[in-house]
A and B are shown apart, each in its own frame.
Chain A
Amino acid sequence: MTGPHWFLIACFAVLAVGTRYLISQAFPREGAGGLAESRGDVPRAVLYSLISAMMPWKKETANRHIVSYALGITLHIGIFLSFLWLVLIFFNVELPQALIALSAIVLALGAFGGLLLLIRRLTTSQMRYLSTPDDYFSSLLTTGFIILTLMVLRSGGLKAALFIYAGILFLYIPVGKLRHAIYFALARVYLGLFYGRRDVWPADGRKSWRTRP
């Protein structure tokens, strides 16, 4: 265990405490779905909210923006894979070369996605209108994390740098827009409760896009 190891552990502890605090605040003070008598299948609606409702054919934010959506997916896969590799590298787990090579491709795609999304954020007027420095920084921070992980995989070195970088990332998650990592599932659950009690979701099989016969 070196200094960077301990730094990473300390930052992770801060993230864990911060996350716990934010989640405790995000829990309902009282009945989460309201007092009106439910008319739907709430558990199924929450599941629907977390899974089916996220499918690209259900969402205009995906199917009307298929390129941005695809880039977003590759970026997020890249981030999750980087976290996985962070754990593997931290514990010195040895893996076959083929797996490393495959990971490198996925990470490269993720970094590519992140960079293009950052360019989109910088170059389209409505994105600049919405964006805050936090948005640009978060984008850079995560894309950089993927690139650094990729460099570690390729070179075998730079591990200390990766730990310090990841530690800073951990510290930033609860304060910046990256905290959606904490709130995302909660938002889906709240929306699932809302639409579930009202029997709007689950909407599987409902032909709401049907063109006229």
Chain B
Amino acid sequence: MADKTLTLKQSRALEALNLRLGGRLRTHLNSCVHCGLCGESCHYYLRYGDPRFLPGNKVDQIARLYRRYFTPQGRLLPGWFGAGDLNDAAIEEMVDVVFGGCTMCGRCSIHCSIGVDIPFLVRTARTMLHELGLVPEGLQSTVNAAIESGNNMAIPRDEMVDTLQWLEQDLRMEVDDDSAGIPLDATGKHILYTLNPREPKFFPLSISAMAKIFYAAKESWTISTNCYDTTNYAYFSGSDASARELTQRLTGEMQKLKAGVLALAECGHGFRAIRWEGPDWLGEAYPFPVVSVIELMAGYIRSGRIRLDPGRNEKRVTLHDPCNLVRAGGVIEEQRFVLEHAVRNFVEMTPNRENNFCCGGGGGQLSMGEYRDRRVEAGRIKADQIRETGAKIVAAPCHNCIDQLMELNQVYELGVEIRTLAELVADALVLKSPAVEGS
């Protein structure tokens, strides 16, 4: 690959592709037939009708480079085979399409005529752009904050502790029990619970809700104040080195605190990154199980460790399926099981589960302000889905989706509340046993 027209960074980007050219990547790079039927499965294409947003064109952003630099026919007859040079124009389109026009939601792959794993190719394209230093600033800065400070909002440890202690006081008052608590940095607990930094920073009600549920379930749990971040924005930015570093910190904390299970807050990409991608970044399986807190809640309900009164949630509730939790994470029925026990009136959106539409905020879009208008426009599909249910509450088991849904709620005047699953469960919790209540 000694191409003299390439800059050093461009060569490094191609080397990043070369290093990853295993059987799976090669297969997906070679499979698209340009059938052009995928557009209607993509929320960007549906809203804009712009061929740049065709999933097939997202594939081509990287496949044309593969053909040009890694296949003999693409080298000999690039124009004929749709092979393209890695030059400034190609890179500009690549950034616009793979960062600015895709949430890596994977809906197109489920529906692809062939079965091309399009988000996998888009992530690999992002890895190349990372080598070129072209990750959008807001996204890169979120990765940097996590690497440098230990959490993606750069929350200082003392402020984190202060907030959690404040929440603990509230919890004690609410359940009227001074033994209730939010155990910090405790060793030997069953569960190490991790958070999305946006919870302690701006939206702590979900932490309170989860603490109350753990209290009711008499769970043995703790939060680390040193290492608690569920997010992994390096999954979005394409940096495998940073993704590995962030994963290693969590596995290290699990060992340090001798916890049994790593439980992740309601965070779609965090679940995907840690549960499913992390072992590949580390090069080995984890010695402990990783679960979503949704699976924990479902387990508590199933085993009778918590009791819920759905009568306490009377309003109609619909459920948003976060792409990375559901379509790419496999947590599909648990949240439905939880809602059926926690609320009186639950209605599905259409379509749902692995066929859901992305809220529009995935793929790191929330951190890339330059594409904000596209994000909100592409989110109109989700807004329409919500409106159609007639629900007053949208349960969204992903803090990233919640933020996007809050914005859609405001822009499209949906008049709904957006809540985590834990908040709805906490509201429905019956704390005292029936015998005590009756006496």
Closest to A68 in B: B37
**Is B283 at the interface (CB under 8 A from chain A)?**
yes
Q: Which of A194-213 contact B (CB under 8 A)?
A: 194, 198-201, 203, 206-213
Distance to closest chain A CB from B404 (angstroms): 21
By a CB distance below 8 angstroms, the chain A residues around B332 are 199-200, 206
- B41, B60, B80, B81: the one contacting A61 at CB < 8 Å is B41
How many residues on B have C-beta within 8 angstroms of the other chain's C-beta atoms? 68
**Is B255 at the interface (CB under 8 A from chain A)?**
no
Asked if B330 and A199 make an inter-chain contact with CB atoms under 8 angstroms apart, the answer reads: yes
Of B110-118, B163-171, B222-230, B418-426, which binds chain A? B110-118
Of B20-28, B134-142, B260-268, which binds chain A? B20-28
Q: Which of A23-58 contact B (CB under 8 A)?
A: 25-30, 32, 34-37, 39-40, 49, 53
Interface string of A181-201 (1 = CB under 8 A from B): 001101110110010001111
Asked if A132 and B350 make an inter-chain contact with CB atoms under 8 angstroms apart, the answer reads: no
Asked if A210 and B352 make an inter-chain contact with CB atoms under 8 angstroms apart, the answer reads: yes
Asked if B328 and A184 make an inter-chain contact with CB atoms under 8 angstroms apart, the answer reads: no
Distance to closest chain B CB from A204 (angstroms): 12
By a CB distance below 8 angstroms, the chain A residues around B51 are 125-126, 129-130
Closest to B284 in A: A35
Distance to closest chain B CB from A154 (angstroms): 30
Q: Which of B211-231 contact A (CB under 8 A)?
A: none
Asked if A26 and B27 make an inter-chain contact with CB atoms under 8 angstroms apart, the answer reads: yes
Asked if A132 and B34 make an inter-chain contact with CB atoms under 8 angstroms apart, the answer reads: yes
**Is A177 at the interface (CB under 8 A from chain B)?**
yes
- B34, B60, B73, B285: the one contacting A35 at CB < 8 Å is B285
By a CB distance below 8 angstroms, the chain B residues around A32 are 23-24
By a CB distance below 8 angstroms, the chain A residues around B286 are 36-37
Of listed B40, B109, B330, residue having the most chain A CB within 10 A: B330
A49 to B116, CA, bound (A): 12
A36-B111 CB under 8 A given contacts A133-B79, A187-B116: no
- B82, B326, B354: the one contacting A132 at CB < 8 Å is B82
A190-B28 CB under 8 A given contacts A30-B22, A176-B81, A206-B353: yes
A187-B115 CB under 8 A given contacts A35-B279, A60-B41: yes
By a CB distance below 8 angstroms, the chain A residues around B23 are 25-29, 32, 186, 190
A61-B112 CB under 8 A given contacts A26-B23, A26-B30, A134-B80: yes
**Is A20 at the interface (CB under 8 A from chain B)?**
no
Distance to closest chain B CB from A177 (angstroms): 6
**Is B304 at the interface (CB under 8 A from chain A)?**
no
By a CB distance below 8 angstroms, the chain B residues around A36 are 275-280, 285-286
- B110, B114, B117: the one contacting A184 at CB < 8 Å is B114
A208 to B353, CA, bound (A): 5
Closest to A33 in B: B24
By a CB distance below 8 angstroms, the chain B residues around A127 are 34, 36
A134 to B63, CA, bound (A): 14
**Is B339 at the interface (CB under 8 A from chain A)?**
no
Asked if A212 and B347 make an inter-chain contact with CB atoms under 8 angstroms apart, the answer reads: yes
Q: Which of A90-129 contact B (CB under 8 A)?
A: 121, 124-127, 129
By a CB distance below 8 angstroms, the chain B residues around A60 are 37, 40-41, 111
Closest to A128 in B: B51
By a CB distance below 8 angstroms, the chain A residues around B31 are 180, 183-184, 186-187
By a CB distance below 8 angstroms, the chain A residues around B382 are none
Which 4 pairs, one residue from A and one from B, show the smallest C-beta to C-beta distance? A132-B82, A35-B279, A129-B51, A198-B330
Q: Which residues of A approach B to under 8 Å, CB–CB?
A: 22, 25-30, 32, 34-37, 39-40, 49, 53, 59-62, 64-65, 68-69, 72, 121, 124-127, 129-135, 137, 175-177, 179-180, 183-184, 186-188, 190-191, 194, 198-201, 203, 206-213
Given contacts A36-B279, A61-B35, A191-B115, 4 further A-B contacts (CB under 8 A): A35-B284, A200-B328, A206-B354, A209-B352
17 A-B pairs with CB atoms under 8 Å apart are: A34-B277, A35-B283, A36-B279, A60-B41, A61-B35, A61-B113, A64-B40, A126-B39, A130-B36, A130-B56, A131-B34, A134-B81, A137-B80, A191-B109, A198-B276, A208-B355, A212-B348
